[in-house]
């Protein structure tokens, strides 16, 4: 693909024509060699050999795959509306750097967790964050608001007020479960009443373990192995209140069985996601320096990993999300859990899941675009005529090596350093504007 000056192109035309690509759109069941025409911020045509009148920026997608814009519904960008400059840099990610990483990774939309400093727990803080996103964000950026004030697991946020904010797409307590069963039940009731999805982190955390009481709603097992217990409890509470529930980074075989049964009951919408690192790594994994890779939920056994892959093929797992968690090197050395993933997720999915035939390309795109868009009501995930022009172009044969020194993310905590991958995004269009082309960002 040729070099590109986005500013000059926007001065010349507001049209973009993507030619000769293999268009895959799960929302329309579409898979064929077609052209896609973008005018302004909308898709105005998807058909064979579109003949254009007037000027347009042409993207020759011969040999490439054209998909609805990819969506990562589990991202940490660290920067709050009150942070900036050195404070955000020290946090090892900003909205600017994180959304640039997203664009390089092929994502047109990200949905951020609320664990900034201070947490996103009120409309005022969402407004502050929205201003910073408008000023520095490169891709569409939405947020999850916290379930409790200051994410302390005690007092519930103003869920009714938050549900009316256009930036807020779900409720999350980020890396913590809501410990007390009664409090979680009330969160479910208010979420259902205000039509706001729950995005639950059902694993133990260091914080939640300090808050543990007899009011969990279940008898706890071994620390950091209570994911199935929290999932079972929270699904039942969501069903009782008719709340929509999405379960983050599922990692255990028993969790999958609970989710499978809940989906069969169909009493309330229940969806779940898995990360590339839980799909591809196991608890014996060590980084090139021989150190254990620390993340939460922890990397699990080979049996758990294999169960995740089977559930992926079966369709029990709805979404693949990165859980992009940037950290400083000194924090990782001190044991802080989490990996970055915005710039590796697509390549890992194509190389380790699609190319070996574990899942189809259509299935992969569905889990990374149309399904997360539908779950969180993001008005995306489609290439149909009239849809918003959020588009990802992928070269499935491009070979590259994971080198975090070249990443847009400010962090380097990636367990896949040095891995050789095949398949990479080569163009990203957000709202009709080309924001990345052949690795160059605008």
Can you give the pLDDT of all 442 residues of the chain as single tens digits? 433 333 433 433 489 999 999 999 999 999 999 999 999 999 999 999 998 878 899 999 999 999 999 999 999 999 987 655 455 556 589 999 999 999 999 999 999 999 999 999 999 999 999 999 999 999 999 999 999 999 999 999 999 999 999 999 999 999 999 999 999 999 999 999 999 999 999 999 999 999 888 899 999 999 999 999 999 999 999 999 999 999 999 999 999 999 999 999 999 999 999 999 999 999 999 987 787 899 999 999 999 999 999 999 999 999 999 999 999 889 998 999 999 999 999 999 999 999 999 999 999 999 999 999 999 999 999 999 999 999 999 999 999 999 999 999 999 999 999 999 999 999 999 999 999 999 999 8
Query: Is the bond leading into 297 cis (omega within 30 degrees of zero)?
Result: yes
Q: Which of 25, 40, 29 is nearest to 70 (CA)?
A: 25
- Measured from the Cβ of residue 167, the count of other Cβ atoms closer than 10 Å reads 18
Contact 69, 378 (CB under 8 A): no
Joined together, the tokens standing for residue 99 give: 């959304």
Say whether 425 sits in a helix, a strand or coil.
strand
In this chain, the answer to whether the domains covering 6-67+387-398+407-441 and 69-375 adopt an identical fold is no
User: Which residue in the list 234, 323, 390, 395 is annotated as catalytic?
Assistant: 323
164: Cβ–Cβ under 8 A, 6 or more apart, which residues?
none
- Radius of gyration in angstroms for the set of CA atoms belonging to the chain, rounded to a whole number: 21
| Residue 288: per-residue pLDDT | 76
Q: Which of 266, 216, 218 is nearest to 244 (CA)?
A: 266
| Residue 1: per-residue pLDDT | 40
Composition of the chain by helix, strand, coil, percent to 5: 35, 25, 45
- Measured from the Cβ of residue 225, the count of other Cβ atoms closer than 10 Å reads 17
Cα 358–359–361 angle (5° rounding)? Answer: 135
126/162 Cα distance (integer angstroms): 9
239/244 Cα distance (integer angstroms): 8
60 is catalytic: no
Beta bridge partners, 303, equal none
| Residue 225: per-residue pLDDT | 96
Query: Beta strand pairing status for 70-75 and 65-68?
Result: unpaired
Dihedral sign of CA atoms 319, 327, 76, 85 in order: negative
**Domain ranges within the chain, ordered by starting residue:** 6-67+387-398+407-441, 69-375
* Protein fold of 6-67+387-398+407-441: Urease, subunit C; domain 1 (2.30.40)
Q: Which of 323, 255, 252, 333 is nearest to 292 (CA)?
A: 333
Contact 416, 278 (CB under 8 A): no
pTM of the model: 0.94
413/68 Cα distance (integer angstroms): 29
Token pair 């007390």: residue: 180
Say whether 148 sits in a helix, a strand or coil.
strand
Q: Is 84 exposed, middle or buried (0-12, 13-18, 19+ CB in 10 A)?
A: middle
Joined together, the tokens standing for residue 363 give: 């299935």
218: Cβ–Cβ under 8 A, 6 or more apart, which residues?
226, 229, 230, 232, 233
CATH number of the 69-375 domain? 3.20.20.140
- Helices of type H across 275-410: 276-280, 302-314, 329-333, 345-349, 361-365, 371-375
């Amino acid at each position: 693909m040729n070099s590109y000056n986005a500013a000059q192109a926007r001065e010349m035309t507001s049209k973009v024509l993507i030619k000769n690509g293999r268009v895959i759109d799960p929302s329309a069941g579409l898979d064929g060699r077609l052209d896609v025409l973008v005018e302004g911020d909308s898709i105005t045509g998807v058909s064979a050999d579109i003949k254009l009148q007037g000027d347009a920026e042409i993207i020759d997608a011969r040999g490439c795959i054209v998909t609805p814009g990819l969506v990562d519904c589990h991202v940490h960008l660290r920067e709050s509306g009150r942070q900036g400059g050195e404070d955000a840099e020290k946090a090892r990610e900003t909205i600017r750097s994180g959304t640039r990483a997203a664009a390089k990774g092929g994502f047109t939309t990200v949905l951020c967790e609320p664990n900034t400093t201070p947490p996103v727990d009120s409309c005022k803080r969402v407004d502050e964050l929205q201003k910073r996103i408008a000023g520095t964000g490169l891709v569409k950026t939405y947020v999850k608001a916290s379930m409790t004030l200051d994410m302390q697991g005690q007092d519930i946020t103003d869920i009714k007020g938050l549900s009316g904010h256009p930036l807020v797409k779900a409720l999350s307590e980020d890396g913590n479960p809501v410990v007390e069963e009664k409090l979680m039940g009330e969160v479910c009731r208010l979420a259902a009443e205000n039509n706001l999805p729950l995005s639950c982190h059902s694993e133990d955390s260091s914080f939640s373990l300090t808050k543990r009481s007899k009011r969990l709603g279940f008898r706890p097992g071994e620390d950091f192995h209570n994911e199935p217990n929290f999932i079972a409890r929270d699904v039942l509470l969501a069903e009782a209140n008719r709340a929509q529930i999405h379960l983050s980074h599922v990692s255990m075989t028993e969790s999958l069985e609970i989710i499978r049964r809940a989906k069969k009951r169909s009493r309330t919408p229940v969806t779940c996601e898995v990360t590339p690192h839980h799909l591809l790594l196991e608890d014996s994994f060590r980084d090139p320096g021989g150190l254990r890779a620390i993340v939460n939920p922890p990397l699990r056994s080979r049996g758990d990993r294999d169960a995740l892959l089977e559930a992926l093929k079966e369709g029990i797992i709805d979404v693949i999300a990165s859980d992009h968690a940037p950290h400083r090197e000194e924090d990782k050395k001190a044991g802080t859990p989490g990996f970055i993933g915005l710039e590796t997720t697509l390549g890992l999915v194509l190389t380790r899941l699609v190319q070996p035939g574990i899942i189809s390309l259509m299935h992969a795109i569905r889990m990374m675009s149309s399904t997360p868009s539908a779950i969180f009501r993001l008005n995306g995930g489609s290439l149909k005529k009239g849809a918003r022009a959020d588009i990802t172009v992928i070269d499935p044969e491009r070979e590259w090596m994971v080198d975090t020194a070249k990443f847009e993310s400010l962090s380097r905590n990636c367990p896949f350093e040095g891995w050789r991958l095949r398949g990479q995004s080569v163009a990203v269009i957000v709202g009709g504007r080309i924001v990345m082309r052949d690795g160059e960002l605008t």
